[in-house]
Each structure stands twice: as C-alpha cells, then as structure tokens.
A and B are shown apart, each in its own frame.
Chain A
Amino acid sequence: MSAATPLQQQKPTNQPAPWTRKDLVGLQELSAEEITLVLDTAAAFKDVGTREIKKVPALRGQTMVNLFVEASTRTRVSFELAAHRLSADVINVSASSSSLTKGETLKDTAKNLEALHADIIVLRHSSAGASQFLAERLEASVINAGDGAHEHPTQALLDTFTVREKLGRVAGIHVAIIGDILFSRVARSNIHALLKLGAKVTLVGPSTLVPREFERLGVTVTHDLDSVLPAVDVVNLLRIQHERQRKEYFPSLGEYTALFGLTKQRAERLKPGALVMHPGPINRGVEIDSDIADSSRSVILDQVTNGLAVRMAVLYLCAGVRAFK
C-alpha cells in the first residue's frame, strides 16, 4: 500500500459551518459563501452513496414531510431518498390525497403537519412565494422544492455542483440556458447561483419566452442558438412545459425544435468537452436529440445522482440549525 497524499489538499478548519438558516426558500438571498458551503457539504455527502452501508444517523429521529401540492416524481423521490440516507422518517403528502382538495388552506395543512411534530417540510407549490409564506409561519424547516415560476433552489444547486465537479470550477465558466426561461423557476435559481459564483450566463430562446428584461439580472439574452454554441462551456436545456404553455408563446413544437432544439448537427458546433445538462424529464426529439441525450457530453444522469447529495446537504444544514435547543 502506498502512502496517499490527499491530506495535502485538505485544509481542515475547526470552524462550524457558516450556515444560519432553518429554511431554504431561494438562492437569490444566499451569499456566494453559503452556496459554496452547500456544494462542499454535498461533496462529502455524495460519498455516502458509495459506502457499504448507504446511511448515516445525522437526522435520526427527525421527521420530514414531502408536501407536494403540485405533481413531481423525481424531486419528491430525490428528497425522500436523501432523508432516508440521513435516517430521518419520511411522510409523503400530495395535493390529490390531502385535505387541500377539501378546501383546507396551505397554512392550516402545514400547521397540522407541525402539530404532528414534523421537523422539516419540503414544499412544492404552484404559487410563487408559498415557501416563504410557510417559512415565516412555522417552527419547522421549510425547503422549497419549486414554487410557481419563482425558484427551485435545490435543482440549481445540483446543476452548479455538477458544473463544478465536471469542469473543476464555476467562476469564469460560460453557461447557456436554453428554452422557456419566462416560466422557469429552474432558470431563475440557476441564474442566481451561477452569477454569484462568477459564471457568465447567456439565455437563449424565442423572444416570447426569453424577454430582454432578463438582462437586468446581469445575463446576456439572445435568440440565436447557433451563434452561442461555439462559445459556451455548458448548455443547460430546459424542458418545454406543455402543461404550462399556451399556444401564443410559440407556433409549434416542430418550429421550436428547428430553431432551439439541440440537434446532432448543432451539437457539433459545441467546444470539445462542453457539457450538456437537462433538469429532466427530457422530451427526446423536442429540446434535445436522443443521440445527444445519450452522448458522452451529456451529464443528465450525473445531475440526478448529484441531486441526492445536494438535498442531503440542504436537509442536514437546515435541520441542524432548526434542531439547536
């Protein structure tokens, strides 16, 4: 056995994690230091998945409620598995199976969950601000799993984590976010995270879905995908959300694919080593060609794996702050 030298790289500090939030509502209010802390913590938690026993006792005895008022499979499952890996107990509540359909308000539902000693509430809701609303009213930790078109912080954290893991850094990396920016909470959270960590962001899509107003955030807006591709290190393709879109935003899926789909021909314009990302679920043949989704550039499945680590980190940090007595 040879002497390993990883210790030279590791700079131990005796300080606690500089994290003081019981909730994670959005990335807009986080500092670059806080975002980096989540990513570093996630890197440590990612290794838990490679152990013989894929479970640590950090949140033993705590209860997490997945309150999903809007449908989701992958985010809910990812949070559920993250909580299991941390030894927390998990309850899933979906809108269709809860009293929300009987007219109970969100606040009353959440207060009832808290009366059952829920420690962490993971909320997915169709209204922007729903997580903030609950976070201000509950003792429990509230984690935003997507609120309307506002934010989806854990998705952006896992996207940023994947960029950092694959390219070694975030600062100076040029990311193109392509598609429906207007309705996308994923895009908003990504813009906040990437800009805070020093990346360059270009938004691409039809003018109806990528209005120029976004430039006020400090990003570049363009409607010409072909000119952007050779310059970027990462393309993050957003799903065309059939369920949200009305017809007036673009004429047809076919026309969208022709102008903004990442086809095989277009992908050839990318730099060698440029990454293709997608928050899923992917619409093969619409925003991305099947071949590209399965190519070596694609880190779509790495994103899923990293999402688990990022959510473990967020649950650990927020629950850690809330648990202090």
Chain B
Amino acid sequence: MNPTSTPPAPAPGATLILDCAAIERCLKRIAHEIIERNPDLSTVALIGIPSRGIEIARRLAAYITEFSGTAPFTGVVDVAMHRDDLHRHRLPPRVERTILPGDLSKLTIVLTDDVLFSGRTCRAAMDSISSFGRPARIQYAVLVDRGHRELPIRADYVGKNLPTSHGQRVHVRFEATDGIADSVWMSHD
C-alpha cells in the first residue's frame, strides 16, 4: 500500500490523528524507551492485549530486536474471562489463548494495548497474569492514551496523549489485523 495515500475513514467524519509514519515514529520511540528502562532485555516479555495489542507487541519486539540485538519474548494475555462487565456485552467477548513464558517470577512484563481509556482492560490483564504467577514487575505501553480513567492506572509508555470527550471514539487500524493502512482516528458518536 502507498503510505502517502489517506486510508478510508472508519466512521463518517472521522479525523485522522496518526498516519502510518506517525505510528511508526511512536512505536520506535517506545521501543527505545523500553530498552532504556530495562537494561537486561533478556528478562523482558512483551505481552499483547487482544486484539490490536498483539500487533503492537509484535511491532515493538521487532524494533527492540533491531535496535538492541536482543529479541524479547512476545505473547498474549486473554482478558475476556477476567472482565467484570460480561452483562454489558450483547454478545460474549471472544476468548483468546493466553501465551506467556513458563516462569514469570524474574520477568518484567510489558503489557501492550492500542488505546488506554477507563483502565479496566489493563486491570483485567493484570488479574489474568497474576493467576499464572508473580512477575517481578509489570509495565504498560499504549499507542494512544485518551484519558477518562476509572481506575488508578497509568501507562509507562505512551505513543500519543489524545484529549477526548466521553462521546468521542478512537479507532485504531493496522494493515496486519484490519487490512487498512496503519492509522488512528477520532470520531463523534
């Protein structure tokens, strides 16, 4: 796909916030920050929150490998079975297989997700991980922080801080998962 062409908007009237090149810059910067914060990269595992956090973990791992020569473990943490809001979904959220390293006790887990909003997904991810073991520490990387936290949670690595109102929606699209050029959008409901 031609990176300079504008991809189709995910909703009528949506505004483009980050294009392909801007997303790449954000993720490369986060990769550098992860390297800086974690001198021993062999104990770092990048764990994606479905669905697009998995793609972010994959991209960050590729950049970290490129910049440092160390390839971090990449995995997945299912949050569907740890949510506290099953009754708010018309259809049950899809359950994914969790893929974590065997022994968590000496690891730094970097949770990755596309958008940080209420913080409830991150809480569910931490609950899920704690049922597998006790990692040495958990860090949190997000592409977009849109504010409106409902829990005392903050991200260690943020691609873009995006002030939003409650009625607005943030859409993230990846070529790899959506077949649409990498882009972040904001729209009004």
Contacts and interface: CB of A to CB of B under 8 A. Distances in A.
B55 A6 contact: no
Secondary structure at chain B's binding surface: helix, strand, loop or mixed? mixed
Q: How large is the interface on B (under 10, 10 to 19, 20 to 34, 35 or more residues)?
A: 35 or more
Interface in A13-62: 13-20, 40-41, 43-45, 47-48, 51-53, 55-60
A52 B131 contact: yes
Given A14-B51, A16-B94, A17-B92, A4 B99 contact: yes
B58 interface: yes
B42 A1 contact: yes
Secondary structure at chain A's binding surface: helix, strand, loop or mixed? loop
Contacts of A40: 95
Contact of B78 (A1, A6, A44, A317): A44
B57 interface: yes
A16 B92 contact: yes
Contacts of B130: 53
Contact of B96 (A44, A53, A55, A324): A44
A3 interface: yes
Contacts of A12: 50-52, 54-55, 96, 177
A175 B32 CA distance: 54
A16 B125 CA distance: 18
Interface in B97-123: 97-99, 101
Contacts of B97: 10, 43-44, 47
A10 B75 CA distance: 10
A13 B50 CA distance: 8
B81 A52 contact: no
A73 B84 CA distance: 32
Given A4-B99, A7-B54, A316-B81, 17 more contacts: A1-B43, A1-B73, A3-B61, A3-B74, A4-B101, A6-B76, A7-B74, A11-B177, A12-B55, A12-B96, A19-B92, A44-B96, A44-B98, A51-B131, A58-B82, A58-B83, A321-B92
Interface of B: 42-43, 45, 48, 50-52, 54-55, 57-58, 61, 65, 71-76, 78, 80-84, 86-99, 101, 127-128, 130-133, 177-178
